[in-house]
């Protein structure tokens, strides 16, 4: 034979449904339940908004396209010097205006010669008939700036000087 919980705990015995309703009427009535539900919904909405913010912040921190993370001015100057020397020697060609960006393919960057990971952004510079080279965002920006600078210097050098 099964004994009720109130007998086992030494409490006065009440019918189960009556005890349930009495307890809920005293603690949480129907209007109070609605108020508590609305408060829970607001709390969950604020937690959800904070979560969305944290996710967006993490994406910004993890995506190298948003910033030059982990580099120093010395690294940048060394890379620019390398780009200038290779442009001068012809080992690196002046970059054109056409470029396609996408996720990394695992190929080495043409500028720094470091592999571009699958989570990194790579810039693909098409050469001719299906041939292309790839570069990191940072490398592409520096290569583009040096190519533009060299092109401007070459154009100013090729212009005839005004007669005095």
Q: What is the CATH number of the domain that holds 111?
A: 3.30.1740
Chain centre to alpha carbon of residue 24: 48
Inter-residue contact 107 to 132 (CB < 8 Å): no
- Supply the mean pLDDT for the chain: 76
Per-residue confidence band for 9, with pLDDT thresholds at 50, 70 and 90: low
- How large is the average pLDDT for residues 29-58? 83
Please list, in sequence order, all residues whose beta carbon lies within 8 angstroms of the beta carbon of residue 145, skipping any fewer than 6 positions away: none
pLDDT at 152 over 80: yes
Count: domains in the chain? 2
Co-location of 93 and 110 in the same domain: yes
More confident residue, 96 or 103: 103
pLDDT of 22 reads: 52
Asked if residue 152 and residue 97 are part of one domain, the reply reads yes
Residues 103 and 37 in one domain: no
Q: Are residues 58 and 76 in the same domain?
A: no
Residue 63 to residue 61: CA distance in whole angstroms: 6
Instruction: Give dist(CA 134, CA 101) in Å, integer.
Output: 9
Position 146 in a domain: yes
Q: Are residues 95 and 30 in the same domain?
A: no
> In the block, which residue shows the tokens 């989570």?
119
Residue 164 lies in a domain: no
Q: In the chain, pLDDT over 70 holds for what percent of residues?
A: 69
Q: Quick check: 161 pLDDT over 70? A: no
| 163 inside domain | no
Same domain, 53 and 91: no
Report if residue 77 sits inside a domain.
Answer: yes
- Same domain? For 116 and 136 the reply is yes
Instruction: Determine the structural domain holding residue 32 and report its residue range.
Output: 13-62
At residue 46, the pLDDT reads 86
Q: Is 6 inside a domain boundary?
A: no
Q: What local confidence, expressed as pLDDT, does residue 73 receive?
A: 59
Flag whether 93 is in a domain: yes
- Domain boundary (62, 81, 101) is at 62
Element (H, E) at 126: strand 121-128
Question: Residue 58 and residue 56: Cα distance in Å, rounded?
Answer: 5
- pLDDT of 154 reads 80
- 99, pLDDT greater than 80: yes
Top-confidence range, 20-29, 39-48, 149-158: 39-48
Q: Do residue 31 and residue 48 come from a single domain?
A: yes
């Amino acid at each position: 034979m099964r004994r009720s919980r109130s007998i086992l705990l030494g409490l006065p015995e009440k019918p189960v449904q009556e005890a349930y309703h009495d307890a809920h009427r005293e603690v949480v009535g129907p209007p109070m339940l609605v108020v508590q539900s609305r408060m829970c919904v607001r709390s969950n909405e604020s937690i959800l908004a904070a979560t969305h913010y944290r996710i967006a912040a993490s994406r910004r921190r993890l995506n190298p396209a948003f910033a030059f993370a982990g580099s120093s001015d010395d690294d940048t100057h060394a890379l620019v010097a390398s780009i200038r020397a290779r442009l001068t020697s012809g080992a690196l060609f002046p970059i054109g205006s056409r470029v396609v960006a996408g996720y990394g393919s695992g190929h080495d960057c043409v500028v720094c010669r470091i592999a571009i990971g699958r989570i990194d952004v790579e810039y693909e510079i098409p050469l001719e008939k299906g041939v292309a080279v790839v570069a990191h965002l940072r490398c592409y920006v520096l290569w583009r700036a040096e190519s533009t600078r060299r092109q401007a210097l070459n154009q100013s050098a090729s212009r005839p000087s005004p007669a005095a």
